[in-house]
Amino acid sequence: MRYLTSGESHGPQLTAIIEGLPAGLSLLASDINFELARRQKGHGRGRRMQIEKDTVQITGGVRHGITLGSPVALVVENNDWKHWTKIMGQDPIAPEEEDEIKRKITRPRPGHADLNGALKYGHRDMRNVLERSSARETTVRVAAGAVAKKLLSELGIHVASHVIEIGGVKSAVRDYESLEKLKEITEASPVRCIDPDAETLMMKAIDDAKEQGDSIGGIVEVIVEGMPAGVGSYVHYDRKLDAKLASGIMSINAFKGVEIGIGFEAASIPGSQVHDEIAWSEEKGYYRKTNRLGGLEGGMSTGMPIVVRGVMKPIPTLYKPLQSVDIETKEPFAASIERSDSCAVPAAAVVAENIVAWELAAAIVDQFYSDRFEALKENIEAQKKFAREF
């Protein structure tokens, strides 16, 4: 199962095409729109979220609410396109109109793809880079992830996330009553944090950064329950599930680190406090007494909750811009400013949730017979039964 996205930040639309989705899965536009709306929320979001009210059109691969087994095509239109038709239009423009229409960008922004992308493709106008490298592209990645989440939920696998740090403010609450309770609390929180005291301080930190023309980052945590044991591989390096999850998290714009379970903490404590002891009961079958390794051992799922964290750096578009160099004149300048958020960590938690969902769904579809969804569901139940009785 794979997907491809296309489209620019201020182009007419964003598109995703999903290949390999089983036939017979119930899928509605509302399943996807729910996740798209979640992505646009959060304290610290910029004006773009007020312009775009993202909704999806399913333009292929689904009939009467059921997937056909053929590629599924998803389209999200950019409402702001009407203001950018000349600047981002597909048709050639006359030479005398270039300076007026193109709004040529020659000053790369530190921390962005601008300069590296220009060097890679030879673009003298770096709008050709920033339009695609924009985090706007995560819109249709969330749409694809929403499809994956629907597949997982139908298999009894559920995904949630929360924010555990913003701008140095850390959540002191890490335990949650249930995944449903976690979802309930985070959906009501402007920063998707389950610690009400930290929530207040996080919002203040975001407001302070905005007032100072700065930005702040943070850490998000994704939790998955119901994953069967044995998904992934210890045999082939490129099929290890933890590697796929790490790659997925690191593919999100502005993410600079990932850890699974206790992660980097494992470097400073003895092995007896790192590894999870194995137990067995007639009701559960095999399980771990703790979950320090985050539901993954040897590149495979253990059946315990999967726990993945990602570190998002501060957004590099600053209203007090850093110094850069104009690629035409080679003179130093303050970097150009595009519309931006002061903090997108709460939204990034939703993106990470959907990216993790995609990687898990893809691993399941790759490992089990999946042309028909009902057959896939039977195979997953059979695997869980086998693991309990082994």
**Which tens digits make up the pLDDT trace of 324-343?**
999 999 999 887 676 668 89
Instruction: Say if residue 100's pLDDT is above 70.
Output: no
Angle between helices 345-367 and 373-389 (to 10 degrees): 90
Whether the predicted pLDDT of 97 surpasses 80: no
Cα-Cα-Cα-Cα torsion 137, 142, 143, 146, nearest 10 degrees, comes to 170
What confidence category does residue 50 fall into, taking pLDDT thresholds of 50, 70 and 90? low
Angle of CA points 82, 79, 74, to nearest 5°: 125
Which residue matches tokens 């009961």?
281
The domain ranges of the chain are: 2-389
With a cut of 80, say whether residue 52 has pLDDT above it: no
Q: Is the pLDDT of residue 35 over 90?
A: yes
The arithmetic mean of pLDDT across residues 246-251, rounded, is: 98
| pLDDT at residue 96, as a whole number | 74
Looking from the CA of 241 toward its CB, the CA atoms found within 13 Å total 33
| C-alpha to C-alpha distance for 187 and 29, rounded to whole angstroms | 20
Q: Report how far residue 232's alpha carbon sits from residue 229's, in angstroms, rounded to the nearest whole number.
A: 9
For the domain spanning 2-389, the CATH number is 3.60.150.10
Which of the two residues, 219 and 333, has the higher pLDDT score?
Answer: 219
Q: How far apart are CA 22 and CA 24, in angstroms?
A: 6
**pLDDT of res. 119:** 98
* Residue 317 pLDDT greater than 90, yes or no: no
pLDDT tens for 347-357 read 999 999 999 99
In whole angstroms, give the CA distance from residue 126 to residue 335.
12
Q: How confident is the model at residue 36 (pLDDT cuts 50, 70, 90)?
A: very high
Which pLDDT score, from 0 to 100, does residue 248 have? Answer: 98
Q: How confident is the model at residue 321 (pLDDT cuts 50, 70, 90)?
A: confident
Evaluate if residue 49 carries a pLDDT over 60: no
Strand 62-63 relative to strand 56-60, pairing: unpaired
Give CA–CA dist 340/319, Å, rounded: 9
For residue 185, pLDDT beyond 70: yes
User: Quick one: pLDDT at residue 82?
Assistant: 92
List own/partner pairs for 167-170 with CB under 8 A and 24 or more apart. 167/202, 167/205, 167/206, 167/209, 167/216, 167/217, 167/218, 167/343, 168/205, 168/216, 169/198, 169/201, 169/202, 169/205, 170/198
Task: Give the model's pLDDT for residue 103.
Answer: 75
Q: Which one is predicted more confidently, 104 or 2?
A: 2
Give the tens place of pLDDT for each residue, 229-248: 999 999 999 999 999 999 99
- Model confidence, pTM: 0.94
Q: Is pLDDT at 261 greater than 90 in this prediction?
A: yes
**Mean pLDDT value across the chain:** 94
Q: What is the pLDDT of residue 208?
A: 95
Least confident of 79-83, 141-145, 201-205, 359-363: 79-83
Rounded Cα distance between 323 and 336, Å, is 10
